[in-house]
């Protein structure tokens, strides 16, 4: 059975055909629309999956936002071009005429990464540092989703009570500081208006402000990992997302984590599935739900 896996992020949409042995047969990507409307997202998704649908037997979606009963509710609508609600499963089932499941993107990625780790790992946490900061927790071999789908939303834990306001309504969330959007929002002067990718490229060239923004993100993430270790006693933390996987970022996080007391340290690894962790996780969860 071939799965049409879809990953909906705040910056990009990805879709892939994945076979039973978890090989990617075809893969497409496009930018997430910045418009606030459901129609804009629906239109982009329709264009993205059109060339792939006829070769698939089911649809599995990993999406940013809280996913409950197949409906996407943004915890931070600013990450999704202002869109707060989207009836994901209903729309995709109608567009493809295929059975469809949906799960949060970081929860899905956590499952794919957990399944690729050694058998003795029963407790791990996945963190995506991307448009936002998302998370997925596997505890005693089980993916935590929670009663309302909120489990693992560690990007909305407190990093700095005097920090910037987060789009979720709280002040000083990890996401407001460490994420791609958080990094870009803090940029001033000649870096104002630049995205995180540009800022990190400038940091590599030795730009002091760019370097400080990168350090601030990595230090915030290291403190989050210490908090996660204290609350889950995980055996490792796996990092994904384009900010998280950027050159030198994990090494920087590990250096800052080394400044924490030993009890709160854990192994920090790069996502084995790199930018496809969400796609693989959704496909695996679909295979388990509809064998
Ligand atoms: P999504 O959030 O849609 O899953 P990504 O994981 O690609 O997408 O994350 C998008 C964010 O990552 C943007 O803020 C972008 O500026 C940033 N980004 C992309 N490439 C890099 C890079 N090489 N270094 C730092 N930041 C990057
Ligand atoms: C936000 C939240 C999470 C998501 C995380 C990473 C929204 C729309 N999303 O915290 O559900 O997992 O961002 O999302 O509220 P990404 O777009 O950066 O991959």
pLDDT per residue as tens digits for the range 109-154: 999 999 999 999 999 999 999 999 999 999 999 999 999 999 999 9
Shortest-distance ligand to the CA of residue 66: 2
Does 78 contact ligand 2 (Cβ within 6 A)? Answer: no
DSSP annotation string for 46-66: HHHHTTTGGG-SEEEEEESSE
Tens of pLDDT, residues 54-109: 999 999 999 999 999 999 999 999 998 888 999 999 999 999 999 999 999 999 99
Tens of pLDDT, residues 150-196: 999 999 999 999 999 999 999 999 999 999 999 999 999 999 999 99
pLDDT score of 291: 79
pLDDT score of 290: 83
Does 128 contact ligand 2 (Cβ within 6 A)? Answer: yes
Of 23, 20, 31, 30, give the one whose Cα is nearest residue 51. 30
Does 130 contact ligand 2 (Cβ within 6 A)? Answer: yes
Does 104 contact ligand 2 (Cβ within 6 A)? Answer: yes
For ligand 1, atom 22, name the residue with the nearest CA.
197
Question: Which has the higher per-residue pLDDT, 82 or 260?
Answer: 260
pLDDT score of 277: 98
Average pLDDT value over all residues in the chain: 97
Q: Please give the number of the atom of ligand 1 that sits closest to the Cα of 10.
A: 3
Distance 260 CA to ligand 1 centre (A): 27
Asked whether the predicted pLDDT for residue 35 surpasses 90, the reply is no
What is d(CA 108, CA 286) in angstroms, rounded to the nearest whole number?
A: 10
Task: Give buried/exposed letters for 36-49 (b at 16+ CB in 10 A, else e).
Answer: eeeeebbebbeebb
pLDDT score of 220: 98
Asked whether the predicted pLDDT for residue 41 surpasses 90, the reply is yes
pLDDT score of 82: 84
Does 75 contact ligand 2 (Cβ within 6 A)? Answer: yes
Kindly give, in sequence order, each residue whose CB lies less than 8 Å from that of residue 61, ignoring residues fewer than 6 positions away: 5, 6, 7, 8, 88, 89, 92, 100, 101, 102, 103, 282
218 falls in which pLDDT band (50, 70, 90)? very high
pLDDT score of 34: 85
pLDDT score of 214: 98
Distance 97 CA to ligand 1 centre (A): 32
For ligand 2, atom 7, name the residue with the nearest CA.
65
Question: Which has the higher per-residue pLDDT, 35 or 26?
Answer: 26
What is d(CA 291, CA 40) in angstroms, rounded to the nearest whole number?
A: 33
Residues lining ligand 1, CB < 6 A?
9-12, 32, 130-131, 180, 195-197, 200, 241-243, 246
Does 106 contact ligand 2 (Cβ within 6 A)? Answer: yes
Q: Please give the number of the atom of ligand 2 that sits closest to the Cα of 79.
A: 8
pLDDT score of 92: 97
For ligand 1, atom 4, name the residue with the nearest CA.
9
Q: Please give the number of the atom of ligand 1 that sits closest to the Cα of 11.
A: 3
Report, as an integer, the average pLDDT of 201-215.
Answer: 98
What is d(CA 55, CA 226) in angstroms, rounded to the nearest whole number?
A: 44
Does 79 contact ligand 2 (Cβ within 6 A)? Answer: yes
Shortest-distance ligand to the CA of residue 202: 1
0.95 exceeded by the pTM?
yes
Shortest-distance ligand to the CA of residue 248: 1
């Amino acid at each position: 059975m071939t799965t049409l896996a879809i990953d909906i992020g705040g910056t990009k949409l990805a879709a892939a055909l994945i076979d039973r042995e978890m090989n990617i047969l075809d893969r497409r990507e496009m930018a997430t629309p910045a418009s606030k409307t459901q129609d804009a997202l629906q239109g982009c998704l329709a264009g993205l999956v059109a060339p792939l649908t006829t070769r698939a037997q089911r649809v599995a979606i990993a999406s940013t936002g809280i996913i409950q009963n197949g409906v996407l509710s943004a915890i931070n609508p600013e990450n999704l071009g202002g869109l707060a609600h989207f009836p994901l499963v209903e729309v995709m089932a109608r567009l493809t005429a295929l059975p469809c499941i949906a799960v949060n993107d970081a929860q899905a990625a956590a499952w794919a990464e957990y399944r690729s780790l050694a058998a003795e790992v029963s407790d791990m946490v996945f963190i995506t540092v991307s448009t936002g900061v998302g998370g997925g927790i596997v505890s005693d071999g089980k993916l935590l989703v929670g009663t309302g789908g909120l489990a693992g939303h560690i990007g909305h834990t407190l990093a700095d009570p005097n920090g910037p306001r987060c789009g979720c309504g709280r002040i000083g969330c990890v996401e407001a500081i460490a994420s791609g959007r958080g990094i870009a929002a803090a940029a001033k002067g000649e870096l104002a208006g630049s995205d995180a990718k540009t800022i990190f490229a400038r940091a590599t060239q030795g730009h002091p402000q760019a370097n400080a923004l990168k350090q601030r993100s990595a230090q915030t993430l290291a403190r989050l990992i210490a908090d996660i270790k204290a609350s889950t006693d995980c055996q490792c933390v796996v990092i994904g997302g384009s900010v998280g996987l950027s050159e030198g970022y994990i090494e920087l996080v590990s250096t800052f984590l080394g400044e924490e007391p030993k009890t709160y340290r854990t192994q920090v690894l790069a996502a084995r599935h790199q930018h496809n962790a969400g796609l693989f996780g959704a496909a695996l969860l679909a295979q388990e739900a509809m064998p």
